[in-house]
Amino acid sequence: MRVLLFGANGQVGRACQELMAGPEFELLPITRREADLSNPAEAYEAVVSREPQLVINASAYTAVDKAESEPELAQSVNGDSVAAMGKACAKVDIPLIHISTDYVFDGQGSKPYKEEDPVNPMGVYGATKLAGEQALEAGSNKVVILRSSWVFGEYGSNFVKTMLRLGASRPELGVVSDQVGKPTYATDIASVILSLTRIYRDTGDLPWGIYHCSNQGTCSWYDFACEIFNQAESQGFLESSPAVKPITTGQYPTPAARPAYSVLDCSKLERLLGAPLSHWQVGLERMLSHLAASAWLGESK
């Protein structure tokens, strides 16, 4: 089966490339070089010219703070190009597996968000990701949207790498403890995408719609940072960990507001796959052992 992968160089894209590399699929990785998604016409053309049987979109404008000052670019990549992908897939009648985010919610809730709960993004990134979701829901039939959260992995930049980098050079770090969510390992998202792709290949169908897709376990960014340093120290990454201090959102001002409570209820996906994803701490162990093998400190990103 011929599968087109947008965002092939991102965290999730690289994990998809690893899991789908073998002879089972003919994977066509699309990076910025093949299609610049600031131009939706390039997204459309990439699909129709390559004649895939299924499309995965792991691309996005993911710089949450920078999006506040680049709303047009974020909208082109996260909204308009996603709409164009959906239109192209509908035209040739193939499925699109797309990834969205917990940041479509405002985080004012107090129980895990279900797929149908009201959305209300707090910033440009979340608003443009929501625009992408809504374009797909309005215009295409064969779409699965996986909403994930707090993604980390070996490739690209993420909170784990930021903590390791800062922790290596600072004796003390303040990390917000009043925003809670579900960290998610990029490879676990790629595994879900692989499972869905196989179901479609084998049955010609999928239960289309939105699914929340995060690892098990809920924590604050502060808790996440503490566990990163615990594991990094025990795996020999750092000679000593910095002192990590819990702080409030108000003590860490950022251009974009972030949801306080962004916990996704993933039971719909668990029913579909027959099992929950593993715990984020297991993903973190896997990530760190892979990074240890590849001298992460030498990487540019």
Ligand X SMILES: NC(=O)C1=CN([C@@H]2O[C@H](COP(=O)(O)OP(=O)(O)OC[C@H]3O[C@@H](n4cnc5c(N)ncnc54)[C@H](OP(=O)(O)O)[C@@H]3O)[C@@H](O)[C@H]2O)C=CC1
Q: Is 218 in the site for ligand TDO (CB under 6 A)?
A: no
Q: Exposure pattern of 177-204 as b/e (b: 16+ CB <10 Å)?
A: bbbbbbbbbbbbbbbbbbebbebbeeee
Out of 61, 113, 125, 211, the active site residue is: 125
Q: Is 148 in the site for ligand X (CB under 6 A)?
A: yes
Beta bridge partners of 262: 181
Q: Is 156 in the site for ligand X (CB under 6 A)?
A: yes
Choosing among ligand TDO, ligand X, none, which partner's interface includes residue 12 (Cβ < 5 to 8 Å by kind)? ligand X
Phi and psi at 63, nearest 5°, equal -80, 95
Choosing among ligand X, ligand TDO, none, which partner's interface includes residue 142 (Cβ < 5 to 8 Å by kind)? none
**Binder to ligand TDO among 6, 25, 211, 221 (CB under 6 A)?**
221
Looking at the chain, how many residues does it have? Answer: 301
Q: Which of residues 229-268 bind ligand X (CB under 6 A)?
A: none
Phi and psi at 222, nearest 5°, equal -60, -50
Contact assessment for residue 127 and residue 159, using Cβ atoms and an 8 Å cutoff: no
**Longest distance between any two alpha carbons in the chain, whole Å:** 56
The two structure tokens encoding residue 155: 């490739």
Residue (109 or 239) nearer to ligand X, CB: 109
State the nearest-atom distance from the C-beta of 202 to ligand X, in Å. 25
**Binder to ligand X among 36, 70, 115, 270 (CB under 6 A)?**
36
**Binder to ligand TDO among 57, 59, 62, 81 (CB under 6 A)?**
62
Interface segment toward ligand TDO; rule CB under 6 A; list 50-58, 99-107, 193-201, 273-281: 99-107
**Binder to ligand X among 101, 140, 197, 215 (CB under 6 A)?**
101
Q: Is 252 in the site for ligand TDO (CB under 6 A)?
A: yes
CA distance 141 to 133: 13
User: CA nearest 145: which of 131, 156, 159?
Assistant: 131
Q: Which of residues 126-165 bind ligand TDO (CB under 6 A)?
A: 149-151, 159, 162
User: CA nearest 266: which of 248, 281, 282, 278?
Assistant: 278
The CB density around residue 223, as the number of other CB atoms within 10 Å, is 17
Known catalytic residue: 125? yes
Q: Is 128 in the site for ligand X (CB under 6 A)?
A: no
Residues with a known catalytic role:
125
